[in-house]
């Protein structure tokens, strides 16, 4: 026979009333207008729980074990705020192994100085650059002489871009200089005119020499000129006086030319 819930005298049920089915032993509670089965008490089911569940005693024991751990010395670790003071004797480094297996030092702090090593080639304006990169890009600007950079081309025909000629014509020295140096154009938009000077204007030709790792300037020749003939892509310089050359100009050598009033 089916279990029948016993109502109040007026046929209603009271919220929270409980009744038990004597045949099954299942207890029910009247809640929100309906009878609902109550499950077994949790403490009666502890033996059936798996590892996904933990009792209060288990959790309390685990927390007590954490509190019992010895204090850890964190003095050798970097803090993410405030000062990180290194001992005077410290040689602090950040290193990384490369794909080839070699160890590279990236940052080193020692004796109050910071070293940064193995910088990558910069390709953005905010990237740091090595001394070698700066020297190469600047062309060792602090070491090269004044003037524009050219290389020597033999003969007296039209000099190629970035070059100059030095030759003799009618018993006098002449120099023909291309309107573009090794680095940029300086005279490509000049009017085709001849300019004659009443007095000599100075010029100079320099180069650099390196001996025992030390680079220095060397004056190849200097003197005066009294006429300039401007053409579309070069200027012809009439030399009125120059110091002895001592030896010929060499090819594939950077010479630095100055012409008073031009560069």
At residue 65 the predicted structure's pLDDT band, cuts being 50, 70 and 90, is confident
Structural domain contains residue 59: no
**Best mean pLDDT range from 34-48, 77-91, 135-149, 213-227:** 213-227
- 117-161 pLDDT, tens digit per residue, is 999 888 888 888 888 887 777 655 557 899 999 999 999 999 999
Structural domain contains residue 101: no
Structural domain contains residue 242: yes
Write the secondary structure of the chain as one string of H (helix), E (strand) and C (coil).
Answer: CCCCCCCCCCCCCCCCCEEECCCCCCEEEEECCEEEECCCCHHHHHHHCCCCCCCHHHHHHHHHHHHCCCCCCCCCCCCCCCCCCCCCCCEEEEEEECCCCCEEEEEEEECCEEEECCCCCCCCCCCCCCHHHHHHHHCCCCCCCCCEEEEECCCCCCCCCCEEEEEEECCEEEEEEECECCCCECCCCCCCCEEEEEEEEEEEEEEEEEECCEEEEEEEEEEEEEEEEECCCEEEEEEEEECCCCCCCCCCCCEEEEECCCC
Structural domain contains residue 4: no
- The number of distinct structural domains making up the chain is 2
Question: Which range marks the domain in which residue 250 is found?
Answer: 148-259
Q: What is the mean pLDDT of residues 178-188?
A: 94
Structural domain contains residue 233: yes
pLDDT at 90 over 80: yes
Structural domain contains residue 205: yes
Rounded to two decimals, the pTM is 0.51
pLDDT at 73 over 90: no
pLDDT at 38 (0 to 100): 84
pLDDT at 37 (0 to 100): 87
- 13-60 pLDDT, tens digit per residue, is 999 999 998 888 888 899 999 999 887 666 666 666 666 677 778 888
pLDDT at 41 (0 to 100): 61
Structural domain contains residue 131: no
pLDDT at 14 (0 to 100): 93
The mean of the pLDDT values for the chain is 88
pLDDT at 43 (0 to 100): 62
pLDDT at 69 (0 to 100): 61
Structural domain contains residue 100: no
């Amino acid at each position: 026979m089916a279990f029948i819930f016993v109502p109040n005298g007026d046929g209603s049920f009271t919220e929270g009333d409980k009744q038990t089915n004597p045949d099954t032993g299942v207890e029910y509670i009247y809640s929100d207008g309906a009878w609902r089965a109550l499950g077994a008490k949790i403490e009666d089911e502890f033996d059936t729980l798996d590892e996904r569940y933990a009792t209060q005693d288990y959790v309390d024991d685990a927390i007590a074990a954490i509190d019992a751990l010895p204090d850890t010395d964190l003095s050798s670790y970097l803090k993410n705020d405030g000062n990180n003071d290194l001992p005077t004797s410290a040689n602090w480094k950040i290193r990384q192994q490369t794909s080839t297996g070699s160890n590279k030092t990236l940052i080193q702090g020692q004796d109050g100085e910071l070293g940064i090593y193995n910088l990558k080639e910069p390709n953005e304006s905010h990237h740091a650059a090595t001394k070698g990169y700066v020297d190469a890009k600047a062309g060792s600007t602090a070491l090269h002489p004044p003037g524009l950079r050219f290389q020597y081309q033999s003969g007296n025909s039209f000099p190629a871009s970035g070059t100059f000629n030095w030759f003799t014509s009618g018993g006098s020295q002449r120099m023909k200089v291309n309107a573009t140096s090794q680095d940029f154009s300086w005279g490509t938009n000049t009017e085709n005119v001849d300019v004659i000077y009443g007095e000599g204007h100075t010029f100079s030709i320099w180069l650099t020499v390196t001996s025992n790792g030390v680079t220095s300037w060397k004056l190849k020749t200097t003197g005066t000129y009294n006429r300039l003939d401007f053409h579309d892509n070069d200027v012809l310089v009439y030399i009125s006086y120059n110091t002895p050359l001592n030896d010929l100009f060499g090819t594939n050598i950077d010479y630095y030319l100055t012409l008073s009033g031009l560069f």
